[in-house]
Structure 1
Amino acid sequence: MATTSIEDSSGPFILTRAHTPHDFDSIVALEFKTFTDPHLREIFMGPDTPDGHAYLSSFYQKTLHTNASDVWVKVEEKKTGKIVGASNWRVHMGSVPKHELAEEDLGWAWLECDEEKLNKVKGVITGIMGVRKSLFTEPYCQLHICFTDPDYQRRGIGSMMLQWGSDLADQLFLPSWVEASPAGNFLYRKFGYKDIEVNESGEMQGSTMRREAIVLPIEGGQ
């Protein structure tokens, strides 16, 4: 299979598909560098330890190989080959997922000795699934995860990944969704996402945003 790439010949970065174990080890290391909030790590990532990194990398690879909707892209610095950004997209062209806890079940082994925290984490995920079930009712693309190396922010890396996903959704005639943090809201708006449901209370503040596909007519034939 050919590797999808987006490259500006005058730019220092290149976007390609992420799919190798080395890719995911680097992506997980970057994710922990980017997201330092203990609450987010507890729910979506796990402990910042060698075993924790290996577990999350393995989880991402397993999901990629077992979930046909799962797509990862990476942005590398051309000079060094260093991964400086990554994003995970879910492309549901036909059937819509059931939106159940199992879809995002990390196992949360790091919380197995704290039943109260474990139940709280499962409650957060169940709440997210409830919103998806009520809103994501037709085939769609979803920006599931997106992050840029803090040392490389404001250099267009996030925009490269958003452009790739927006172009894909347009070509597939699909709307796009993202569960946005307040920090990411501005970037998503630049690409046409609009707030549909906003949560301004609790630890998981943010909004669920939707982007309509921009469909241009295709003419041809004889």
Structure 2
Amino acid sequence: MPFKVSEVKTDFEFTELIAWPNARQESLEECTQRQLEWHRSDPSSYWQKVTDTATGEIVAGALWKLYSENPFEKEDHEEAYWYPEGGQREYVNGALEIFGRPRATMGRRPHVYLNIIFTRSDYRRQGAGDLIMNWGITKAQEMGVEMWLDATPYGVPLYKKYGFVTVIENPLNPKKDDPDDEWKQLDQELGPLSMTVMWRPASGLYEEGKTVFPWNGSTGLSR
């Protein structure tokens, strides 16, 4: 099946990429506007889409962060301002802080970060994801930098195929001494969440016991 990968450049393309058949219109508009604002304010942001050239439909998409410098030189904690003030926002703020902590500690060098990747369910396992991953690897090679991503359990085997190794399991379970009902409700709704932090060396080749991990100068994964 013929696919084409290209950069997302226009507001219309953003709306088309982010839209899903079951999304509520008000949620879609708010989400699209937020993503646009983040993209425009972040020079490292690179959105791309995969199009089925036979139908013109977008079948997959990704958000890459292309860092030519250490992105953590300046501490910047993301605030979940899209949640109303209260327990839910506090919970999401805590989860976001935990989510970003490993890379903020170990990835303090220029690198390529796969922030978001998705494929339409009816187009999975047809090569769209491969196009995205190969694009990112080629870009990292051009820049001469390492790569990072946060994987769900479903994605770990796929990323290992591209030379990524597991660095740490990262449970996203913020804690609070006296959580309010909003915090408890969101904690219950989301359930146990955990991401696998994965890394690919700038050389592209990981050799167990030989590859030096730049965040600790060793050949082991002790942190």
- Please tell me the TM-score bracket, short chain as reference: 0.7 to 0.9
Q: Distance in 1 between matches of 2:101 and 2:194?
A: 16
Q: Which residue number in structure 2 is paired with residue 107 of structure 1?
A: 81
**Deviations 1:95-114 (CA, angstroms, capped at 9, x unpaired):** 42345323xx4522xx316x
The answer to whether structure 1 residue 13 and structure 2 residue 20 are counterparts is no
Q: Which residue number in structure 1 is paired with residue 203 of structure 2?
A: 214
Give the 3-state SS of the residue equivalent to 1:176 in structure 2: strand
The answer to whether structure 1 residue 205 and structure 2 residue 179 are counterparts is no
Report the TM-score when normalising by structure 2. Answer: 0.77
CA contact (8 A) 1:100 1:129 kept: no
Q: Which moved more, 1:15-24 or 1:207-216?
A: 207-216
Q: Which residue number in structure 1 is paired with residue 27 of structure 2?
A: 52
Give the 3-state SS of the residue equivalent to 2:108 in structure 1: coil
Q: Which residue number in structure 2 is paired with residue 80 of structure 1?
A: 55
CA contact (8 A) 1:179 1:208 kept: yes
Q: Distance in 2 between matches of 1:81 and 1:152?
A: 13
Q: Which residue number in structure 1 is paired with residue 71 of structure 2?
A: 96
Q: 1:67 aligns with which of 42, 47, 51?
A: 42
Unaligned runs of 5+ in 1: 1-10, 34-47, 217-222
Q: In the comparison of the two structures, how many residue pairs are matched?
A: 186
AA at the equivalent of 1:181: T
Which structure carries more helix by proportion?
1
CA contact (8 A) 1:99 1:129 kept: no
**Deviations 1:197-222 (CA, angstroms, capped at 9, x unpaired):** 11368522121000112379xxxxxx
Runs of 4+ displaced beyond 4 Å: none
Unaligned runs of 5+ in 2: 174-191, 206-223
The answer to whether structure 1 residue 188 and structure 2 residue 159 are counterparts is yes
Give the 3-state SS of the residue equivalent to 2:19 in structure 1: helix
Q: Distance in 2 between matches of 1:101 and 1:13?
A: 37
AA at the equivalent of 2:49: K
Report the TM-score when normalising by structure 1. Answer: 0.77
Q: Which residue number in structure 2 is paired with residue 139 of structure 1?
A: 110
Distance 1:106 1:50, change over 3 A: farther
Give the 3-state SS of the residue equivalent to 1:101 in structure 2: coil
CA contact (8 A) 2:71 2:109 kept: yes
CA contact (8 A) 1:18 1:72 kept: yes
**Matched-pair identity in %:** 24
